[in-house]
């Protein structure tokens, strides 16, 4: 135990002192925020482009009701403009409402392609204008129409309440659950890859430095492996903690100095980039602060820590076993890593494609099996999981972790002293199941 602690301490200290650790810890949140605000900025500047459209040959149906929105579209009814001279008169396009056929197809001439968004907007504006026109024809006055649409717009909201086992009804926030589940699932997914690779490289360290034999003559290979895995977990947790602190500090600072509009826009962009990771999470959490109070945060955080550590330990020992059988050449790692990364990716796919139905059969099963449970279960937890399922899943994960560690330790013990030759799956299987 004491020796595991010594190895752990060395792994932790050498890694935390390393320049790359400091760089990635402090630069990543900054880069991430720059990315979010940068894309928000570009999104805004591209929207500012106003399109001026000249409308000709109006049969009279549209003139009164065709209104662009001031931000992106302006309609001008003119007579002396045609498809040849619109740009010299300062218009981006000319819309010809002269419709001979019954097909209801109008032509719009422009120098540059309008784009799907703009075209769609023009069509819906025409539809709306036509609708109003038809209603007016049936005798409804414009004022009546305006006041009705004013009253009815956003007049109703639907709130989903859950009936709990005790028969109480409870408010749910589907969007928040979605966000939290997705966010933590992704976080576990990404960290499993990052730290798994870190463990693999860490295990190779003894081999590439040719110190393995010296070390295993003083500590048991199992102690060395556990020390490494736990040390790197500690590094990961430290980095997480620093990221969260940094992101909170930075986003508060940014909130104070940057126009409100841009921050809002950044939030919008965020929703469209699921890979935004923890900072997206942080921003989202701030957005929904008001409705967040009735979510069981302590439950979510406890489960997150459990599944993060459990998933990490489950896979880290497998990564360590792989690291011990390969040599200096990282190319060799690729083929051996594939069977380990597949279930992680599989879990991620299950999670993303079934996020809307957290109680579906596949989600329930995937959240039980240790190979996929850390990612999938985290996506289910915010929307509530029966405690029996949670207990079974946790127990299976612990059992799975003990099993992979035992298996990896046996492969590791032989692999770490092998030089010059990559072990095959068959050999690794033999090492794992032979008597010591």
Partner 1 sequence: MNILELKNVQKYFSTQKAVDDISFTIEQGSIFGLLGPNGAGKTTLLRMITGIFYPDNGEIFLKNRHFDPVNDVRYIGYMPEERGLYKKMKIGEQALYLAQLKGLSRSDAMKKIKAWFIKFEMESWWNKKVEDLSKGMSQKLQFVTTVLHEPELIILDEPFSGLDPVNANLIKDEIFNLAKNGSTVIFSTHRMEQVEEICDHIVLVNKGKKILDGSVADVKNQFKQNVYRLGASTNAHNLMTYIFEVIKHQPNELLLKLLHDSTTNDVLKFFISQDIQIHSFNEVLPTLNEIFIQLVEGTPYARQFEKMN
Q: Which residues bind partner 1 (CB under 8 A)?
A: 3, 6-7, 10, 14, 205, 209-211, 213-220, 417, 419, 430, 436
Query: Which class for 107: exposed (0-12), middle (13-18), buried (19 or more C-beta within 10 A)?
Result: exposed
Q: Report d(CA 295, CA 298) in Å as an integer.
A: 9
**Nearest-angstrom CA–CA distance, 413 and 203:** 12
DSSP code, position 53: E
Closer of 107 and 218 to partner 1 (Cβ): 218
Please state the closest distance from residue 266 (CB atom) to partner 1, in A.
39
CB of 217 to partner 1, least distance (A): 4
The residue among 10 and 47 lying less far from partner 1, judged by its C-beta, is 10
* Smallest distance from partner 1 to CB 16, Å: 13
CB of 312 to partner 1, least distance (A): 24
* Residue ranges with strand state E in 227-341: none
Nearer to partner 1 (CB atom), residue 134 or residue 209: 209
Closer Cβ to partner 1, 76 or 427, answer by number = 427
Question: What is the full DSSP assignment across 119-166?
Answer: HHHHHHHHHHHHHHHHHHHTT--HHHHHHHHHHHTT------EEE-TT
Q: CB of 339: closest distance to partner 1 in angstroms? A: 23
Exposure string over 236-267, b if 16+ CB within 10 A, otherwise e: bbebeebbeebbeebbeeeeeeeeeeebebbb
In eight-state DSSP terms, residue 171 is E
- The CA distance from 263 to 249, in Å, is 15
Of 150 and 210, which CB lies nearer to partner 1 in the complex structure? 210
- 90 half-sphere exposure, CB direction, 13 A CA radius: 4
Cβ contacts of residue 250 below 8 Å, gap of 6+?
29, 30, 33
Distance between CA atoms of residues 239 and 191, nearest Å: 11
Shortest separation between residue 14's beta carbon and partner 1, angstroms: 7
CA atoms within 13 A on the CB side of 174: 9
Q: Which is nearer to partner 1, 209 or 353 (CB)?
A: 209
Backbone angles phi, psi at 95, to 5 degrees: -105, 120
Provide the β-strand partners of residue 51.
73
Kindly state the tokens that stand for 106.
């109008």
- Of the two residues 32 and 409, which places its CB atom closer to partner 1 in the complex? 409
Output phi, psi for 163, to 5 deg.
Answer: -95, 115
* Alpha-carbon separation of residue 95 from 55, 88, 98, 194, 246 (angstroms): 5, 15, 9, 54, 52
Please state the closest distance from residue 398 (CB atom) to partner 1, in A.
26
CB-based contact 276:153 (threshold 8 Å): no
**Least separation, in Å, of the C-beta of 219 and partner 1?**
6
Query: Shortest approach of partner 1 to residue 427 CB, angstroms?
Result: 8
The least distance separating partner 1 from the CB of residue 24, rounded to whole angstroms, comes to 17
Is the CB of 115 or the CB of 330 nearer to partner 1?
Answer: 330
User: With contact defined as beta carbons under 8 Å apart, do 71 and 88 qualify?
Assistant: no
Q: Which two tokens stand for residue 334?
A: 């690729």
| Residue whose CB is less far from partner 1, 215 or 258 | 215
Contacts of 357 (CB under 8 A, 6+ apart): 363
Q: To which residue do tokens 């981006």 refer?
A: 92
Q: Would you give the distance in Å from CA 413 to the centre of its chain? A: 38
The residue among 344 and 423 lying less far from partner 1, judged by its C-beta, is: 423
Task: Tell me whether residue 17 or residue 150 sits nearer to partner 1 (CB atom).
Answer: 17
Smallest gap from residue 210 Cβ to partner 1 (A):
3
């Amino acid at each position: 135990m004491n020796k595991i602690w010594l190895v752990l301490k060395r792994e932790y200290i050498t890694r935390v002192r390393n320049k790359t650790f400091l760089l990635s810890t402090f630069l990543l949140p900054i880069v991430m925020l720059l990315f979010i605000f940068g894309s928000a900025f570009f999104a805004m500047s591209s929207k500012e482009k106003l399109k001026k459209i000249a409308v000709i040959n109006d049969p009279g149906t549209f003139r009164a009701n065709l209104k662009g929105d001031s931000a992106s579209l302006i309609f001008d009814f003119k007579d002396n403009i045609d498809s040849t001279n619109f740009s010299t008169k300062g218009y981006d396009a000319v819309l010809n409402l002269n419709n001979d056929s019954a097909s209801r197809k109008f032509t719009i001439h422009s120098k540059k392609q309008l784009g799907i968004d703009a075209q769609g907007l023009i069509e819906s504006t025409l539809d709306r204008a036509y609708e109003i026109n038809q209603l007016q024809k049936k005798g409804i006055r414009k004022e009546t129409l305006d006041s009705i649409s004013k009253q009815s717009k956003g007049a109703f909201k639907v709130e989903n309440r859950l009936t709990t086992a005790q028969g109480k009804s409870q408010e749910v926030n589907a969007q928040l659950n979605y966000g939290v589940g997705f966010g933590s699932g992704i976080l576990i997914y990404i960290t499993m890859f990052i730290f798994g690779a870190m463990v693999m490289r860490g295990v190779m360290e003894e081999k590439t430095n040719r110190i393995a034999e010296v070390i295993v003559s003083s500590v048991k290979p199992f102690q060395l492996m556990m020390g490494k895995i736990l040390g790197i977990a500690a590094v990961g947790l430290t980095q997480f903690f620093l990221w969260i602190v940094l992101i909170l500090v930075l986003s508060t600072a940014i909130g104070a100095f940057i126009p409100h509009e841009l921050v809002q826009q950044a939030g919008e962009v965020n929703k469209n980039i699921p890979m935004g990771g923890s900072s997206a999470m942080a921003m989202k959490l701030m957005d929904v602060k008001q409705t967040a109070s009735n979510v069981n945060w302590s439950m979510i955080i406890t489960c997150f820590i459990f599944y993060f550590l459990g998933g990490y330990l489950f896979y880290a020992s497998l990564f360590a076993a792989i690291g011990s059988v390969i040599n200096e050449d990282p190319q060799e790692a690729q083929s051996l890593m594939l069977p380990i990364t597949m279930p992680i990716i599989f879990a991620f796919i299950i999670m993303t494609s079934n996020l809307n139905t957290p109680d579906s059969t596949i989600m329930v099963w995937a959240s039980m099996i240790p190979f996929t449970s850390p990612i999938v279960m985290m996506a289910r937890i915010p929307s509530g999981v029966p405690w029996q399922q949670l207990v079974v899943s946790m127990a299976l994960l612990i059992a799975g972790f003990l099993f992979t560690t035992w298996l990896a330790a046996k492969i590791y013990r032989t692999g770490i002293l092998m030089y010059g030759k990559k072990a095959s799956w068959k050999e690794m299987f033999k090492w794992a199941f032979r008597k010591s």
